[in-house]
Chain A
Amino acid sequence: MAAVDWQNLVQGIPSLLSGLLINLEILFGLIALGFAVGIMIALVQVYSPRPFAALAVGYEWFFRGVPEMVLLMLIYFGLRQFQVRITPFIAAVIALGLRSSAYQSQIFRGAIQAVGRRQMMAALSVGMTRLQAIRHVILPQALRLSIPPWSNEFSSVLKDTTLASAIGVIEVFKKARFIMGRNYALALPIFMVVALFFLFLTYVGNWALGALERRYRIPGFEAKGAGERF
């Protein structure tokens, strides 16, 4: 095995980090989009009349069924076909975000159903509208229940951000390949560095979500056990 060219490796790291920043930007964009759309889809599936609920189910089926890579191409090149010019970055956020919204909607739907109809009925019984009940009673509970499954989705979409390279976004994976292209001896160490970056981010993300879960844990529930509720 050739000796590692430490100097070139170290020189490449700032470039990798600037690439990683792009991954983080995609990550925040896609999570925000996926969260907002995911909650709406879940609410439509649970609470709206059948035709709308069926549409939402169709939406979920589509975005969970089509491979990510194909979605990226469809959004990026597809929109160009209609003279909508968007940057690869935006296309990646949209494609990965919509895909994530389908997965997130499943998480939220399960959580909303776990909260149960009785909470809705109690809220309605004091005179709240359905929207008020959703806002003040259902979602605060459902979002708490969503945190553990949601952290899986977080880890998954974090890794997916590297797929944006396929439509030309210069993110960390692409940068690593540039560096490797200049010096093949760096292939192994450079991708190990990239792997470490992601392991670190996964760790930090899950730690933060764990802290969030503890912060919003409902007192009294730990003792009685979640099983009792359902």
Chain B
Amino acid sequence: MALLAIDDLHKRYGKEEVLRGVSFELERGETKVIIGPSGTGKSTLLRCINRLTEPDRGKVWLDGVEVTSPRTNIYRVRAQVGFVFQDFNLFTHLTALDNVRLGLIRVKKMGKRDATERAMRELERVGLADKAYAYPAQLSGGQQQRVSIARALAMDPKLILFDEPTSALDPELIGEVLQVMIELAEGGMTMLVVTHEMGFARSVADEIIFMEKGIIVEQGPPEVLFTRPKKPRTAEFLRKITEFYGESG
């Protein structure tokens, strides 16, 4: 059984139907990359997965638990699903260490010492142990994003959702964040990544999902999608995106 199964997800904001029946699955240890033009519903889709946004219709299953069931303890689900935001969203008033530790202490009810130990391990993993006592405003964007990845990792997530994790970064800072993500993928983490970084998609993704206007247009392994996409729209989008962002990253 797939770790994550999404079945016919619909979401509407006012008149606009942002998700119009999205279905796919993600196996344990897999990395899938979602690409697509902006305003297409990629962020909405990610937020529907742990119900930060309530979908109107459709089902989400995580590890055999129906996330969308009203009887499911959604807080427990969210603790098992890491979320990395485009603009980091670190807790501004807390040090890097406290950012990583907060969920351990408040949600996992871990003792302070254990939580600190665990948080430090995660900060080390993203190469920021020496910034443990820095506040977000004292860190570069790349460092902030790595702390936010550490915050997600500390919770021992079954799955991490990345919503354009490098889009808010200066070009020279993108690499350090992608490097952490590549290591995670290689370490067997299950990841669903919205990104425009085609280099990352090509080399790391097990599958690429091309979304447009609230539906999946085409999906497949990167070698297939990048070289001989079935739909003309996919080819056109890929051409545009490589012009914009280049191949690197």
Contacts and interface: CB of A to CB of B under 8 A. Distances in A.
Specify whether A and B are partners: yes
Interface of A: 118-119, 121-129, 132, 136-137, 140-141, 144, 218-221, 223-224, 229
B89 A119 contact: yes
A140 B93 contact: yes
Contacts of B90: 122
Contacts of A144: 93
B79 interface: yes
Contacts of A129: 75
Interface stretch (B61-69, B101-109, B225-233, B238-246): B101-109
Contacts of B52: 121, 124-125
A228 to B, nearest CB: 9
Given A140-B93, A223-B137, 4 more contacts: A125-B52, A128-B107, A137-B91, A141-B93
B138 A125 contact: no
15 contacts: A119-B89, A121-B52, A122-B89, A122-B90, A125-B50, A126-B103, A126-B152, A127-B80, A136-B102, A137-B102, A140-B93, A141-B91, A141-B92, A141-B93, A221-B135
B93 A127 contact: no
Nearest to A139: B93
B137 A128 contact: no
Interface of B: 50, 52, 75-76, 78-83, 85, 87, 89-93, 102-103, 106-107, 134-139, 151-152, 155
A126 B107 contact: yes
Contact of B76 (A127, A140, A219): A127
Contact of B106 (A128, A218, A221, A223): A128
A121 B78 CA distance: 11
Nearest to B91: A137
Given A218-B137, A219-B138, A221-B137, A119 B107 contact: no
A137 B90 CA distance: 10
A122 B90 CA distance: 7
A221 B136 CA distance: 9
Contacts of B87: 118
With most chain B CB atoms within 10 A of its CB, the pick from A136, A223, A224 is A136
B11 to A, nearest CB: 16
Nearest to B85: A122
Contacts of A128: 75, 103, 106-107
A125 B82 CA distance: 7
A119 B137 contact: no
Given A126-B103, A223-B137, A218 B93 contact: yes
A118 B92 CA distance: 11
A124 to B, nearest CB: 6
A228 B180 CA distance: 27
A80 to B, nearest CB: 46
